[in-house]
Amino acid sequence: MTGGLRVLAVDDVAPALDELRRLLLAAPEVAHVTTAGDAITALRLLQANPFDAVFLDISMPAMDGMELGSLLARMTDPPVIVFVTAFEEHAASAYGLGAVDYLLKPVGRERLRAALDRVRRFLASGAGPPPEPGGVDELAAVPVDLGGRTLFVRRDDVRFAEANGDYVRLHTPSAAHLVRIPISRLERHWHSAGFLRVHRSYLLAITAVRELRSDIGGGLLAHTDLGDVPVSRRHARELRQHLLEAATRGEFDAPNRGERG
C-alpha cells in the first residue's frame, strides 16, 4: 500500500473515542481518522467509504463490536480489524474473526504503534500478519466455542477446512470443528503455513495429501487420511506443483500430517 492509513475508530463512549482518535492522528502511519459512536453508523460509513483499518470497541448497544466484526469479515475486501476494549475475555473470539490485534484500554502510544505496524504489514503482504518476534501467531490455534468453554484447535492438526455457510468446518483426526470464520480469511492466514485453496469450498494442508485420485466423473480428488477433498480444474496444476515442491523439501516426513500407514 502507499500513503498513510485510512482508519475508522468506533466506540460508543465519547471520551474514549476522542482519545483513540487523538492517538491515531498522532501516529505517522495514519493519514486520516473517521469516527463513529455506534456500530450501525460505522457500518454505513464502511459501505460508503474505503478504509484500511477499523479500530473497534466491543461493548456497544444495539450491535456490539463482535457482531460488526463478523459482518466485516464477510465483505469482499474487508478492512483490517483491531479490537480496542476493556474486556480481556473476548480475545479468543476476536482472533477467530480474523482481527490482527486486540488492545486493552487504556491504550498506550507504543502499544498502538505496534498494532498499526501489524496493520501495515498485513496490508502489504496480502496474507496473515507475521507474528511479533517472540510473540504469538494468533491463528496457529483457532478458538472453538463449545457452549461455555473454549477449545483451541491447532492448525498443525487440521487436514483440510470446508466452507459451511458463514462457518468453516476444520477436519482433524479427533473431530470436525465448526468455527465462525470465512474460508477466505482463513486462507490468507494459513497460506504461508502450507495450506492451499483447492476448491471454492476447501482449503487443504498440502502435506496431508497421500495421493491424487480421479472420481467417477473424471474430476480430481486429493486423498487424505480423513477422506477425499475435491480439487477444481483451475487449482489442479497449482496443487501438483506444491506437492512436488513439498516432496522435494522432505515435508511429507513430518509426523503431524497424514502419516503413511
pLDDT at 135: 38
Q: Determine the pLDDT at residue 147.
A: 67
pTM of the model: 0.50
Instruction: Give residue 225's pLDDT.
Output: 94
The CATH homologous superfamily to which domain 5-125 belongs is: Response regulator (3.40.50.2300)
What top-level class would CATH report for the domain 141-253? mainly beta
Q: d(Cα 162, Cα 229) in Å, to the nearest integer?
A: 9
Whether pLDDT at 207 is above 60: yes
Cell numbers linked to 108 = 498506550
Secondary structure (H, E, C), the chain: CCCCEEEEEECCCHHHHHHHHHHHHHCCCEEEEEEECCHHHHHHHHHHCCCCEEEECCCCCCCCHHHHHHHHHCCCCCCEEEEEECCHHHHHHHHHCCCCEEEECCCCHHHHHHHHHHHHHHHHHCCCCCCCCCCCCHHHEEEEECCCCEEEEEHHHCCEEEEECCEEEEECCCCEEEECCCHHHHHHHHHHHCEEEEECCEEEEHHHCCEEEECCCCCEEEEECCEEEEECHHHHHHHHHHHHHHHHCCHHHCCCCCCCC
- Residue intervals in the chain for CATH 2.40.50.1020: 141-253
Across 180-191, average pLDDT: 85
The Cα–Cα gap between 123 and 214 comes to 38
Dihedral angle of Cα 37, 42, 43, 46, to the nearest 10 degrees = 170
Residue 148 is predicted with a pLDDT of: 64
Q: Which residues pair with 81 in a beta bridge?
A: 54
CATH 3.40.50.2300 domain residues, the chain: 5-125
Pick the more confident residue, 101 or 25.
25
pLDDT at position 13 is 92
